[in-house]
Amino acid sequence: MDESKIRNMEELAAVSGVSRPTLSKFFNDPGSVRESTRLKIQEALEEYDYRPNIFAMNQNRRLTKYVGIVVPYLADPFFAEIGRNIERRCIQAGFWPALFSSHGDTHRENDILDSLRSLKPAGVLLAPLGRASDRRIIEKFCEDVPTVLFDSNLDDVGEAFVGSNNFQSIGLIVEYLSRTGEPPTFFEMPPVNPNANKRRRAYIGAMESLGLTPNVIHVNGEGWGFEEVGYSEGIRVISEGRLPTNTILCSNDRLAIGLLAAAYEKGLRVGRGAGFALRIAGHDDHPFSRFTSPSLTTVAQDYASIAERSVETLFRLIESGGKAEKRETTLFDGKLVMRASA
Amino acid sequence: MDESKIRNMEELAAVSGVSRPTLSKFFNDPGSVRESTRLKIQEALEEYDYRPNIFAMNQNRRLTKYVGIVVPYLADPFFAEIGRNIERRCIQAGFWPALFSSHGDTHRENDILDSLRSLKPAGVLLAPLGRASDRRIIEKFCEDVPTVLFDSNLDDVGEAFVGSNNFQSIGLIVEYLSRTGEPPTFFEMPPVNPNANKRRRAYIGAMESLGLTPNVIHVNGEGWGFEEVGYSEGIRVISEGRLPTNTILCSNDRLAIGLLAAAYEKGLRVGRGAGFALRIAGHDDHPFSRFTSPSLTTVAQDYASIAERSVETLFRLIESGGKAEKRETTLFDGKLVMRASA
DNA sequence: ACCTTATATTTACGCGCGTAAACTTTTTCC
DNA sequence: GGAAAAAGTTTACGCGCGTAAATATAAGGT
């Protein structure tokens, strides 16, 4: 076993008994060479440690095999989870995922897109910051790079959008909460993205169609530290007795997690049925929602489907040359997850 | 404003009135050219949209400006947070961070190192899986790429290690718990990394030095879904009445979060003082520990310092050619974070 | 103005690979 | 077995940039 390092394809060609252009073909698609040749190459690769220089490989390509994945806030396990799903599918499809987090910061998001552009990725899956996004910069980016938006939509930006059907999912939980107790009050902070707005509107619509009066508690807070906002504003709202009903529907689970902490601290027992002072529900089925005390009733976003469809859509887009005939929007329905909190 | 695209340095040289090699110098270090030249270049860059082809830039470099960051499990906000800190510092220092998560999977960790190697990174910050890591593969990687381990140590692998002083931090909380109530029982699952072992040993040592009898509850479970293990095994342990004392110290916060959920479900009031059935404490000061019900008493790992020192150590390593004279180990002390749960 | 020193320019080559064209060999199939 | 098709080889060029050497120009000090 001669472990002497092979420096380039030329040398590998020499020891494998195959020409360099054939090696080039092999590395770009092992299936494109005859089986006997493939075996010769693989045999040589077993013996000698060689991997192609990816920089040389990519410099003359118009497109690389990279796929960029950009999420707004990775410290939110929801995005970590969806990122993981997307990564896995990209790898399976022979692409190289590169994961980035904007960390809630507009400049960071712009910088990421800037770096991504020079990676010449085959495509990008982008969950934009939303309201804080620099729309023009994202638009410009999408002109150059095939991009599918997910989670948070920006009208007419990117070639497609995949997300949740907030109207359906909020309708679902509003109906459930109204049917089983006092109608819910909607608890929200200033919206970071269109989902928040859609959820509020969906809540109002759902309440009205049930003949109920909508109640929205809008609290202060900014940034992506939703739990903190839910907690501190929850303490304030509860202290000031500003809860119109004993049922709160939070704009998302992270806010609900904060509110649960506030309720606990203020001595309000959260849950449904006799002996409970408050019902709290969320939205998203955040990975931690199963482990709150009490466990959080919520609506599950179908991450797996969102991830799968986003990737699928991107791959179709890539195959068809990067431009969609028309911008497709795919929304997945949520599922009610009944736990102990409401 | 002629927005016609510049295709390469040659063309930029033409319109900026500067030679191509000078441009090359500029892009590798803007400070290395005379101010008047820099201004000419920057002026041209304002007018024309150009960015160097990173693949061409890097193919002849022995080392690139990339820094790899590898964490074992990104859906754990602890790692997301520390990853964010590290990213920020790398960017400030002019490097390009690339973040990867092993997702608790040995193969994935190996594959990441494999991809990283071909990125020719200036250095890598690696938080290994730990017990599940393929030691030989990591060792081999560290021979080729300057690597600093953090969070979880592998003896003699990598050029340095930065982490937490588990003996100090566990000692701290054991002392606190013993002083303020019944001595703690240690609650752990099969260790995924050396920290878990160190913490158990630290617990036993601390108890003995206080003249108390250590009690370890070792539950089943594998993988990185710690909350689930804490919850389901917590339910079992509580149901079977296997808690020797009313105070539980969990090996980490995520386990504690699961156990809190179990205690809640079993109707045990968690907290200190009269009227509470159980005290639960954790370790790490996980981002969500402030928002559990009750909020979790724990020991804070000093993420910021760990991130800072890791990066600092790596940069020193890079500057000194990638090899440390001797392997340095830096451990940061934890701080007691008293909240409501214990 | 002159000399020194710091910067730029010119010229030239190489990196490792993609890829095209023309040609040769192997496989496939009737 | 022979022709067509498929796959591999040879040759050659180019990508965009790093970088070295020789040369030219500008800046700074006296």
- Mind listing the pLDDT tens digit for each residue in B313-331? 999 999 888 788 899 999 9
The pTM is what?
0.93
Whether the ω angle into residue B294 lies within 30 degrees of 0, i.e. cis, is: yes
| The total number of structural domains that make up chain A | 3
Both A284 and A211 in a single domain? Answer: yes
Predicted pLDDT at A204: 98
- Look-up of token digits 């909240």: B339
Q: Which residue is nearest to nucleotide C15 (CA to C1')?
A: B60
Whether residue B335 is contained in a domain is answered as no
The average pLDDT across A172-188 equals: 97
| CA B96/CA A115 separation, integer angstroms | 9
Q: Is the pLDDT of residue A172 over 80?
A: yes
Mutate to test the interface with B, among A89, A115, A293 (most CBs of B within 10 A): A293
Kindly indicate the confidence band of residue A296, based on its pLDDT and cuts at 50, 70 and 90.
very high
Q: Taking the CA atoms of B14, B18, B19 and B20 in sequence, report the sign of the dihedral they define.
A: negative
From the CA of B309 to the C1' of C16: give the distance in Å: 37
Kindly indicate the confidence band of residue A3, based on its pLDDT and cuts at 50, 70 and 90.
low
From the CA of A60 to the C1' of D14: give the distance in Å: 9
Inter-chain residue contact B288 with A290, CB threshold 8 Å = no
| CA A123/CA A95 separation, integer angstroms | 10
Inter-chain residue contact B81 with A99, CB threshold 8 Å = no
| CA B212/CA A107 separation, integer angstroms | 54
Q: For residue A320, give its domain range.
A: 66-163+304-330
Both A204 and A311 in a single domain? Answer: no
Predicted pLDDT at A156: 93
Which pair of structure tokens corresponds to residue A35?
A: 């089986």
Nucleic acid strand C within 7 Å of A39 CB: no
Q: Is the pLDDT of residue A2 over 80?
A: no
| CA A148/CA A126 separation, integer angstroms | 6
From the CA of B20 to the C1' of C2: give the distance in Å: 32
| CA A267/CA A283 separation, integer angstroms | 24
Which nucleotide C1' is nearest A34 CA?
D7
Predicted pLDDT at A40: 94
| CA A168/CA A202 separation, integer angstroms | 8
Whether residue B270 is contained in a domain is answered as yes
Closest chain A CA to residue B231: A291
Report whether B310 contacts B249 (CB < 8 A). no
| CA A122/CA A10 separation, integer angstroms | 27
Contacts of A292 in chain B (CB under 8 A): 261, 292-293
Mutate to test the interface with A, among B100, B293, B295, B341 (most CBs of A within 10 A): B293
Q: CATH number, domain at A154?
A: 3.40.50.2300
Predicted pLDDT at A1: 44
Inter-chain residue contact A101 with B118, CB threshold 8 Å = no
Which pair of structure tokens corresponds to residue B280?
A: 């639960």
Q: Could you give phi then psi for residue B179, rounded to 5 degrees?
A: -70, -30
Q: How far is B209 from chain A (nearest CA, A)?
A: 35
Q: Could you give phi then psi for residue B47, rounded to 5 degrees?
A: -80, -40
Which pair of structure tokens corresponds to residue B217?
A: 């509850």
Q: How far is B257 from chain A (nearest CA, A)?
A: 7
Q: Is the pLDDT of residue A322 over 90?
A: no
Query: For the packed helices B77-92 and B303-319, what is the interaxial angle rounded to 10 degrees?
Result: 40
Both B232 and B314 in a single domain? Answer: no
Q: Where are the beta strands (DSSP E) in B72-119?
A: 96-101
Positions 32-51 of B with beta carbon below 7 A from strand C are: 32-34, 36-38
Kindly indicate the confidence band of residue B1, based on its pLDDT and cuts at 50, 70 and 90.
very low
Residue B174 makes CB contacts below 8 A (sequence gap 6+) with B183, B184, B202, B203, B206, B207, B210, B249
Residue B240: other Cβ atoms inside 10 A: 8
Whether residue A1 is contained in a domain is answered as no
pLDDT single digits (tens) B55-88:
999 988 888 999 999 999 999 999 999 999 999 9
More confident residue, B311 or B320: B311
Both B111 and B89 in a single domain? Answer: yes
Mean pLDDT of chain A: 94
- In sequence order, the β-bridge partners of residue A67 are A97, A123
pLDDT single digits (tens) B154-209:
999 999 999 999 999 999 999 999 999 999 999 999 999 999 999 999 999 999 99
User: Which nucleotides of strand C lie under 7 Å from a protein CB?
Assistant: 7-12, 14-21, 27
Mean pLDDT of chain B: 94
Whether residue B208 is contained in a domain is answered as yes
Whether residue A225 is contained in a domain is answered as yes
End-to-end CA separation in angstroms for chain A: 66
Whether residue B340 is contained in a domain is answered as no
Predicted pLDDT at A291: 97
Cβ pairs A/B, distance under 8 A: 128
Mutate to test the interface with A, among B6, B49, B55 (most CBs of A within 10 A): B55
Q: How far is A119 from chain B (nearest CA, A)?
A: 7
Report whether A218 contacts A188 (CB < 8 A). yes
pLDDT single digits (tens) A25-61:
999 989 999 999 999 999 999 999 899 999 999 988 8
Both B145 and B218 in a single domain? Answer: no
The average pLDDT across A295-319 equals: 95
Inter-chain residue contact B55 with A55, CB threshold 8 Å = yes
From the CA of B27 to the C1' of C20: give the distance in Å: 33
Q: Is the pLDDT of residue A6 over 50?
A: yes
Closest chain A CA to residue B117: A51
Give the DSSP per-residue string, B329-340.
EEEEPPEEE--S
From the CA of B37 to the C1' of C2: give the distance in Å: 26
Predicted pLDDT at B4: 65
Contacts of B258 in chain A (CB under 8 A): 291
Residue A337 makes CB contacts below 8 A (sequence gap 6+) with A285, A289, A297, A298, A299, A300
Q: Is the pLDDT of residue A341 over 60?
A: yes
Which nucleotide C1' is nearest A32 CA?
D7
Inter-chain residue contact A55 with B51, CB threshold 8 Å = no
- In sequence order, the β-bridge partners of residue B218 are B188
Both A238 and A321 in a single domain? Answer: no
Both B152 and B277 in a single domain? Answer: no
Q: Is the pLDDT of residue B337 over 90?
A: yes
Which nucleotide C1' is nearest B19 CA?
C9
Both A315 and A286 in a single domain? Answer: no
| CA B161/CA B133 separation, integer angstroms | 16
Both B46 and B159 in a single domain? Answer: no
Residue A313 makes CB contacts below 8 A (sequence gap 6+) with A148, A160, A162, A328, A330
Predicted pLDDT at B323: 83
pLDDT single digits (tens) A210-234:
999 999 999 999 899 999 999 999 9
Whether residue B338 is contained in a domain is answered as no
pLDDT single digits (tens) B36-45:
999 999 999 9
Both A286 and A326 in a single domain? Answer: no
Both A178 and A287 in a single domain? Answer: yes
Which nucleotide C1' is nearest B59 CA?
C15
Whether residue B2 is contained in a domain is answered as no
The share of chain A scoring above pLDDT 70, in percent, equals 99
Q: Is the pLDDT of residue B52 over 50?
A: yes
Both A130 and A214 in a single domain? Answer: no
The DSSP code for B32 is G
Predicted pLDDT at A170: 98
pLDDT single digits (tens) A186-219:
999 999 999 999 999 999 999 999 999 999 999 9
Nucleic acid strand C within 7 Å of A34 CB: yes
The DSSP code for A316 is H
Which nucleotide C1' is nearest B33 CA?
C7
